[in-house]
Structure 1
Amino acid sequence: MTGAVGALRAIAASTVKEALRSRLAWLLAALLLGSVALAGFLQAALPGDGRGTQAVLLGALLRLAAVCVAAVFAVTSLVREYQDKQADLFIALPYPRATWLLGRLAGCGALALLIALPAGALVLLVAPPGQAALWALALLGETWIVAAFAVFCTLTLQHALPSLCATYGFYVLARSAAALQLAGHDAVADTSQGVIAAGIDALAFVLPRLDAFARGEWLEHHTGSAADLAFVAAQTAIYVTLLALAALFDLYRKEF
């Protein structure tokens, strides 16, 4: 048991080191600073409340940059590990397969923290510390869920492009499911519309409520609360656990 825990820690540490060696830190820094510059430009170009508009734009751009970086790394690192036969090598060692997968997920969680911290520091430019901390914690949960889904997709598909497409599709649906529900129920009722609305409701039920994570109104109107943090924590725990179990099931059924 102790050896498996040590192996899990080593895999998580090597995942973070791999991200740093691949110059991910430079890419993340460029995306974060580019988000700040673009938010400032758009705020100057668009009418409305200057600081409030800048807060919403900055939050949205930072969130998008964080999710993209986490998904790309989770997919490409796992695909490279398959191609280099490193996964096969570890599976051959006297450790449970879960050790390798949980180590990978722990590494992705540590990487999500490294992404959320500088993003949270940047939103301090437009929001008070309490709201910036809440937003950063929600971004951490959102990024971890996306990374866990990316790992699950890559284990199943084993190719970078379809895994990334599936991950980004999952993210867009999870972010827009509540809006789709609202539009579906506001439409004129008929049989076909009822079927579509029921399908959207079912989709929204199984997807995480990512629209409630890292909300722009927290930065603009300072409305974030402890209840929001509790909801984010519960959603993160539930969906990371479910995705880890699904990935474990897929991993154990594979023949190496």
Structure 2
Amino acid sequence: MKSAVRTIAAATLQEALRSRLLWLLAAVALGAVGVAGFLQAVVPAEGHATNTALLAALLRLAAAGIVAIFAVTAIVREYADKQVEMLLALPYPRAAWLLGRLAGCALLALLPAGVAGVLVAGTAPPAQAALWTVSLLGELWIVAAFAVFCTLTLQHALPSLCATAGFYVLARSVTALQLAGHGATPDAGQRVIGAGTDAIAFVLPRLDAFARSEWLLYGTGTAADLGFVAGQSAIYVTLLAGAALFDLYRKEF
């Protein structure tokens, strides 16, 4: 099974590289640097801070989009070409195919995370840039695991991408939703809204605590932040992989 997982993971990474992923990463990096540099020139008073924060935000969003789109389209393509049925017919458990796909997406995430880390390293202290890069990698692993789970369940690209985008936006803004839900007016409706936002926050990962721009700007990242990111990544990747595995085993091909 280990050899099958390694083979599928390597094939997944090769598929990504053959689809001109490196050119896309180069274009995204140049675009992000160009936009951030333009805003630095437009707002010279806070030029460096604006440049760093915007560059980090653009790279984070682009990296999540690249990983999610590839994870979804690769599995949809396998379904369309009947490659899933062929792979599952081999004398390996279904978990080998799924774990191989997840491992391949995890390896793929190293590329955009590495590019983003190199670009922000020139604008922030090395330790904070390293912390930001590692936490971005954990964020990409969670996004990839959710994209794989959605694609196995929905089996179509558009609804899977929409669900993944909704998950990412909601997980990124869940703390703000909680603050808005617990408003200053303590009426019954506000309590219901607050309870609902608390329930959503309990289920979703705290992606707003990943790859924070303030780490790069003010050097506030600590080992506790790294521990929180590592714990959240391990928990949610494991949960999403387990949910995807359950869905895969219940399917009849």
Match of 2:31 among 34, 53, 58: 34
Shift of 1:113: 0.9
- SS of 1:186's equivalent? coil
Residue 247 of structure 1 aligns with an amino acid whose one-letter code is A
Residue 186 of structure 2 aligns with an amino acid whose one-letter code is A
Shift of 1:48: 4.2
| Separation (CA, whole Å) in 2 of partners of 1:48 and 1:230 | 35
The aligned counterpart of 1:121 is: 118
The aligned counterpart of 1:213 is: 210
Shift of 1:32: 1.6
Shift of 1:29: 1.4
| Separation (CA, whole Å) in 1 of partners of 2:11 and 2:207 | 29
- SS of 2:166's equivalent? helix
Q: Retained in 2: the 8 A contact 1:53–1:220?
A: no
Q: Retained in 2: the 8 A contact 1:32–1:65?
A: no
Match of 1:5 among 2, 7, 13: 2
| Separation (CA, whole Å) in 1 of partners of 2:199 and 2:83 | 39
The aligned counterpart of 2:89 is: 92
| Separation (CA, whole Å) in 2 of partners of 1:33 and 1:10 | 33
What is the 5 A alignment of 1:227-238?
A: 227-238=224-235
What is the 5 A alignment of 1:96-107?
A: 96-107=93-104
Residue 224 of structure 1 aligns with an amino acid whose one-letter code is G
| Separation (CA, whole Å) in 1 of partners of 2:45 and 2:248 | 51
Residue 19 of structure 2 aligns with an amino acid whose one-letter code is S
Normalising by structure 1, we get a TM-score of 0.97
| Separation (CA, whole Å) in 2 of partners of 1:48 and 1:228 | 30
Per-residue deviation, residues 73-94 of structure 1 (Å, max 9, x unmatched): 0000010011011111011111
The aligned counterpart of 2:237 is: 240
The aligned counterpart of 1:253 is: 250
The aligned counterpart of 1:196 is: 193
Residue range with higher mean Cα deviation, 208-217 or 125-134: 125-134
Residue 66 (1) aligns with residue 63 (2): yes
Residue 225 of structure 2 aligns with an amino acid whose one-letter code is D
Residue 226 (1) aligns with residue 223 (2): yes
The aligned counterpart of 2:73 is: 76
| Separation (CA, whole Å) in 2 of partners of 1:45 and 1:147 | 36
| Separation (CA, whole Å) in 1 of partners of 2:129 and 2:94 | 38
Q: Retained in 1: the 8 A contact 2:39–2:47?
A: no
Residue 131 of structure 1 aligns with an amino acid whose one-letter code is Q
Shift of 1:47: 5.9
Total equivalences in the alignment = 253
Gap regions ≥5 residues in structure 1: none
Per-residue deviation, residues 84-134 of structure 1 (Å, max 9, x unmatched): 111110111110000000000000100111111111000012101111110
Per-residue deviation, residues 166-195 of structure 1 (Å, max 9, x unmatched): 000000000000011011113412111111
The aligned counterpart of 1:111 is: 108
Gap regions ≥5 residues in structure 2: none
The aligned counterpart of 1:157 is: 154
Q: Retained in 2: the 8 A contact 1:138–1:229?
A: yes
The aligned counterpart of 1:172 is: 169
Per-residue deviation, residues 140-189 of structure 1 (Å, max 9, x unmatched): 00011001100000000000000000000000000000011011113412
